[in-house]
């Protein structure tokens, strides 16, 4: 019975060591993992915490278990601390532990649910091309933009098909899928304004008279969607 009580007491103490560790980091103005590298400031935080924990009745074994150390290492560390004498953070840590600040943990926000598109969805496919230069050579980049809509006309997803031999194809896929997921979580179409003016290779004159030139494929798609489905007049 006594052994069980002692074990329970030790477990309780070990839990409370977290508060002393937080306090030691707080008064030393640094946050570090318990097993951080042995630079002088970090060692100072550990020594301070060990010293106060020992003063408050924690055993060498309990303190060692907290840090994943051997208890003899803790004993040597405490001896070094005693040789240094009282450090200036010691009284501040004692005050901190006597009246620890109330920490309000932020509530974990639930991830908004995806709004699924209808099984039979309305949409459009838009063909566009961009005439651009690669070195001294003039090339034409040909692509298709597929846009699927919710029943109320909101954009729910879009895809860019640009020929599998295009080096940028994977980047277009990632951008389109990521942005589509944001729309399905409630992000408004105006979010695309962040991509207007993005500069990237494949920039030049477009086949669309309403958007005569673009600074990238991403710039073109963002402006097209904003004009077509957001009713925004974007500079051509």
Coil, strand or helix: which one is 149? strand
- % pLDDT > 90, the chain: 37
pLDDT band at 156 (very low <50, low <70, confident <90, very high): very high
φ and ψ at 64, to 5 degrees?
-65, -40
pLDDT band at 85 (very low <50, low <70, confident <90, very high): low
Helices (H) and strands (E) in the chain, counts: 7, 5
CA distances from 117 to 19, 211, 231 (A): 49, 29, 22
Least confident of 89-93, 141-145, 157-161: 89-93
Please tell me the CATH code under which domain 2-98 is placed: 1.10.1750.10
Strand 155-161 with 137-149, pairing: antiparallel
pLDDT band at 192 (very low <50, low <70, confident <90, very high): very high
Choose between 40 and 120: higher pLDDT. 120
- Long-range contacts of 164-169, Cβ-Cβ distance < 8 Å, separation of 24 or more: 166/141, 168/200, 168/201, 168/202, 168/217
Summary mean pLDDT of the chain: 81
The reported pTM is: 0.53
d(CA 209, CA 74): 75
H/E element, 156: strand 155-161
Average of per-residue pLDDT across 38-43: 60
Would you list the domain boundaries of the chain?
2-98, 122-230
């Amino acid at each position: 019975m006594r052994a069980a009580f002692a074990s329970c007491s030790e477990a309780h103490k070990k839990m409370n060591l977290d508060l002393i560790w937080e306090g030691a980091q707080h008064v030393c103005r640094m946050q570090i993992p318990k097993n951080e590298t042995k630079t002088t400031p970090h060692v100072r935080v550990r020594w301070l915490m060990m010293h106060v924990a020992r003063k408050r009745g924690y055993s060498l074994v309990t303190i060692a278990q907290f840090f994943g150390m051997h208890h003899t290492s803790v004993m040597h560390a405490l001896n070094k601390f005693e040789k240094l004498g009282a450090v200036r953070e010691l009284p501040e840590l004692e005050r901190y532990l006597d009246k620890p600040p109330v920490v309000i943990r932020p509530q974990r926000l639930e991830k908004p649910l995806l709004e699924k598109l209808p099984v039979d969805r309305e949409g459009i496919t838009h063909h566009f091309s961009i005439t651009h230069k690669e070195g001294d050579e003039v090339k034409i980049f040909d692509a298709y933009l597929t846009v699927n809509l919710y029943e109320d006309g909101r954009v729910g997803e879009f895809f860019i098909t640009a020929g599998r031999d295009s080096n940028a194809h994977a980047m277009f896929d990632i951008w389109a899928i990521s942005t589509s997921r944001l729309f399905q979580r409630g992000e408004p179409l105006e979010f695309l304004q962040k991509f207007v003016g993005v500069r990237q290779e494949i920039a030049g004159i477009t086949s669309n008279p309403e958007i005569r030139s673009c600074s990238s494929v991403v710039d073109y798609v963002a402006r097209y969607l904003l004009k077509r489905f957001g009713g925004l007049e974007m500079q051509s």
